[in-house]
Amino acid sequence: MPLHPPAQAGQRFDEIDTPSLILDLDAFERNLVTMAAYTQGHGVRLRPHAKTHKSPEIALRQIAHGAVGQCCQKVSEAEILVEGGVTDVLVSNEIAGAAKLDRLAKLARQAKITLCVDHLDGVREAAEAAARHDVVLDVLVEIDVGGRRCGVAPGETAVRLAEAIARSNTLRFGGLQAYHGTAQHMRSIDERREAIERAGLGARNTVERLAQAGLACGVVSGAGTGTFEIESQSGIWNEIQAGSYIFMDADYARNRQADGSPFRTFEHALFILTGVMSKPVPDRAVVDAGHKAAAIDSGLPVPYRREGVVYTKPSDEHGVLTGDPAVLPHRGDRLLLVPGHCDPTVNLHDWYVCVRGLHTADAHVEALWPVAARGALT
């Protein structure tokens, strides 16, 4: 039996079932415009990360606002994006093994596909898969600019890999993947700036050595929502991979701007709508959204515009609200939660319930969009 969707287009906001994933279309659209204007104003390309939204509906809206394509982490995400009409996908990740690389090479018949490598074996495997499918794959060399995840050291090792790519006749050397993940949530702008400036030294050095070796570095791609302004102004990066900016989660709201105030460049556009199912005592309300409805790896969900109400103690299907009984909601009441971390929260839901006029008396469901790449892990 198919699952009941939590809402239908045309319904009033108060008819939406709980718990459900709410997209505030007005705030989302303003976030799209803000990022598009910023990146265009600084002469850098925008290639938003689809691991955040897992939705061709959203990808196509980003592209309509000037994004050059999408990033994703997984081959299965790339497949869903291409099927949904995206024609330029960067898998901002290393892909190992013939089975996955064959799928990626097949996709390159329909769309421009780029992947990252940080080992000579990765170059060889990608070249062999491209040859089997008679396509050319674009390849970025990933350098570790401080995140200590994937990537070779900046400098000569990266040049050796780029030369190996350039020698292959089924691969095209595209440039560098230089993403600094751990810098994104450093709370102060000074810490983020220092981390990205240091990352930029390694990236610039690599670009210069590549040029000395006769290899033009067309793309230097990286940056997330926490640091995109720094990369955009650097003169080194020319492509921005931010993902979370469209939704703006509670963890990003804990970042600080230059004057110490909360990071407010983007608006909260993604929420969990939850309902109070029990209020056994006056100072405890129990809601129907636990950690199967909102990811808690980067902090608990935060009640939205509910001064004094604190979400505590998530279990699988329950959350406990505490606070002064005078401000706690009652059984049957509903409230919005801002998820701690947007990307894994989205992956818990089948549908975006897209709401127009969310904070108005006319709030209503404009559309339901599937989280099409939900669970796309391979």
Select 155 or 181, whichever has its Cβ closest to ligand PLP.
Answer: 181
DSSP H or E run through 320:
strand 319-322
> Smallest distance, Å, CB 344 to Mn ion?
7
Stretch that binds Mn ion, among 154-162, 203-211, 306-314, 339-347 (CB under 5 A): 339-347
Q: Which two tokens stand for residue 288?
A: 């129907």
Q: Which amino acid is at 331?
A: R
Q: Is 39 in the site for ligand PLP (CB under 6 A)?
A: no
Binding site partner of 184, from Mn ion, ligand PLP, none, Cβ cut-off 5-8 A by kind = ligand PLP
Binding site partner of 114, from ligand PLP, Mn ion, none, Cβ cut-off 5-8 A by kind = none
Stretch that binds ligand PLP, among 57-65, 97-105, 177-185, 260-268 (CB under 6 A): 177-185
Select 69 or 329, whichever has its Cβ closest to ligand PLP.
Answer: 69
> Using the rule CB under 5 A, which residue among 343, 345, 351, 364 binds Mn ion?
343
Select 309 or 338, whichever has its Cβ closest to ligand PLP.
Answer: 338
Select 17 or 191, whichever has its Cβ closest to ligand PLP.
Answer: 191
Q: How many Å apart are CA 212 and CA 324, to the nearest integer?
A: 66
Residue nearest to ligand PLP (CB): 224
Select 275 or 340, whichever has its Cβ closest to Mn ion.
Answer: 340
How many amino acids of this chain bind ligand PLP (CB under 6 A)? 13
Taking CB under 6 A as the criterion, which residues in 48-67 touch ligand PLP? 49, 52
Write the DSSP string, 67-124. ---EEESSHHHHHHHHHTT--EEEEEEE--SHHHHHHHHHHTTTSEEEEEE-SHHHHH
Binding site partner of 345, from Mn ion, ligand PLP, none, Cβ cut-off 5-8 A by kind = none
> Smallest distance, Å, CB 297 to ligand PLP?
12
Q: Is 244 in the site for ligand PLP (CB under 6 A)?
A: yes
Q: What is the number of other CB atoms lying within 10 angstroms of the CB of residue 43?
A: 9
Q: Is 175 in the site for ligand PLP (CB under 6 A)?
A: no
The closest alpha carbon to 163, from 123, 218, 129, belongs to: 123
> Smallest distance, Å, CB 244 to Mn ion?
6
Q: Is 192 in the site for ligand PLP (CB under 6 A)?
A: no
Dihedral of the alpha carbons of 42, 43, 49, 55, in degrees to the nearest 10: 100
Alpha-helical regions (H) of the chain:
25-41, 56-64, 75-83, 98-107, 120-132, 156-167, 189-212, 228-232, 250-253, 342-346
Stretch that binds ligand PLP, among 12-20, 106-114, 176-184, 277-285 (CB under 6 A): 176-184
- Distances in Å between the alpha carbon of 331 and those of 282, 348, 358? 11, 25, 22
1-12 residues labelled b (16+ CB within 10 A) or e (exposed):
eeeeebbeeebe
Which residue carries 């290639």 as its tokens?
Answer: 47
Select 243 or 340, whichever has its Cβ closest to ligand PLP.
Answer: 243
What number of H helices and E strands is found in the chain?
A: 10, 17
Q: Name residues whose C-beta falls within 8 Å of residue 357's C-beta, 6 or more positions apart in sequence.
A: 26, 363, 364
Select 224 or 275, whichever has its Cβ closest to ligand PLP.
Answer: 224
> Using the rule CB under 6 A, which residue among 242, 248, 293, 295 binds ligand PLP?
242
Q: What is the number of other CB atoms lying within 10 angstroms of the CB of residue 326?
A: 8
> Using the rule CB under 6 A, which residue among 28, 38, 179, 311 binds ligand PLP?
179
> Smallest distance, Å, CB 258 to ligand PLP?
19
Taking CB under 6 A as the criterion, which residues in 145-164 touch ligand PLP? none
* Secondary structure (3-state) at 37: helix
| β-strand partners of 273 | 20, 336
46-61 residues labelled b (16+ CB within 10 A) or e (exposed):
bbbbbbbbbbbbbbbb
> Using the rule CB under 6 A, which residue among 154, 243, 301, 339 binds ligand PLP?
243
The contact set with ligand PLP (CB under 6 A) reads: 49, 52, 71, 92, 179, 181, 184, 224-225, 241-244
The contact set with Mn ion (CB under 5 A) reads: 343
